[in-house]
Amino acid sequence: MDQDKLIEIITKEVLKRIQGDPSLNNIKEEVANSIITNEINKNNIEVSTGFVNPILKEIKSPADVAKYIDHTLLKPDAKKEDFDKLVEEAKEYNFYSVCVNSSWVPYVYKKLRGTRIKVTAVVGFPLGAMTSRAKAFETRNVIEEGASEIDMVLNIGALKSGDLKFVEEDIKAVRRATRSNTILKVILETGFLTDDEKVIACQIAKNAGADFVKTSTGFGKGGATVHDIALMRRTVGEKMGVKASGGVRDFETAVAMIQAGATRIGASSSVAIVTGVKGSSSY
């Protein structure tokens, strides 16, 4: 089956489910959940986007990737001196943003004041299973404290249960809590999802008004893959952002993700990426 047709089928299903179309009640769950996966696996199809990433022409050396990196520190045992180092590295290498847990937003924002480097805060992290009200509250709070970008985890269990309306409303609750200039990224946690679930999640995030879809938290199964980035890019189109995070530890992998359609990289091995060496971080 042609890739365009696969995406078209799943997109139509998403829209029907969200609108509560009763005709879908007659579709067996195992069929709905395997349309894309079966076709891709049995034919060994590589997902092709037809998308030429404009970022590629700007990348002539590892250092050129820096302005597309969210320099990340999300470890639960990270200490103040670790965040001091994160900020100094962001300044030295001119990363796009630093990405931290919500309690650290005021600290890094103060240290970055006067620079162009943004603060990204994760919300509902890392499970995504919090209430929508809790996610919205956390979002408002971190924006007040200096975050200009939000990386929220969608409700993975609700998605896998087929409660797509709930998933959409969960994202919309966070979107309503943001400001007009706040960038909202939705973390799919792709390691837990089938290919068709990834497509459905991308379509819901797009419908809910998100600016980006993102692969992983770095705390679940797997991480970013070229296959997933290409599939996500093909689903959301050319204008929406796609963030590769989880396991991007060197320049070659970062470029492969960008070639597949990523417009942002989330990494704790950011310094390794932009200096052309291999990082050892697990994120």
Active site residue 243: yes
Is the CB of residue 263 less than 8 Å from the CB of residue 236? no
- d(C-alpha 37, C-alpha 24), whole Å: 19
User: How high is the pLDDT of residue 146?
Assistant: 98
Q: Is the pLDDT of residue 201 over 70?
A: yes
* Residue of 135, 185, 206, 214 marked catalytic: 214
User: How high is the pLDDT of residue 4?
Assistant: 59
User: How high is the pLDDT of residue 8?
Assistant: 62
User: Does 126 sit behind a cis peptide bond, omega within 30 degrees of 0 on the bond before it?
Assistant: yes
User: How high is the pLDDT of residue 280?
Assistant: 67
What pLDDT band is residue 50 in, cutting at 50, 70 and 90? confident
Strand partners, 231: none
Is the CB of residue 156 less than 8 Å from the CB of residue 190? no
Q: Is the pLDDT of residue 219 over 80?
A: yes
Most confident of 6-15, 33-42, 49-58: 49-58
Active site residue 214: yes
Say what the pTM is.
0.86
Active site residue 250: no
Residue-wise pLDDT for 109-142, tens only, equals 999 999 999 999 999 999 999 999 999 999 999 9
Percent of the chain scoring above 90 in pLDDT: 79
User: How high is the pLDDT of residue 32?
Assistant: 44
User: How high is the pLDDT of residue 272?
Assistant: 98
Q: Does domain 3-275 have CATH number 2.60.120.10?
A: no
Is the CB of residue 90 less than 8 Å from the CB of residue 108? no
SS3 of 158-173: HHHCCCHHHHHHHHHH
Residue-wise pLDDT for 25-37, tens only, equals 443 343 344 444 4
- Among 69, 53, 56, smallest CA distance to 261 is for 53
* Residue of 195, 228, 243, 250 marked catalytic: 243
* Residue of 111, 135, 151, 185 marked catalytic: 151
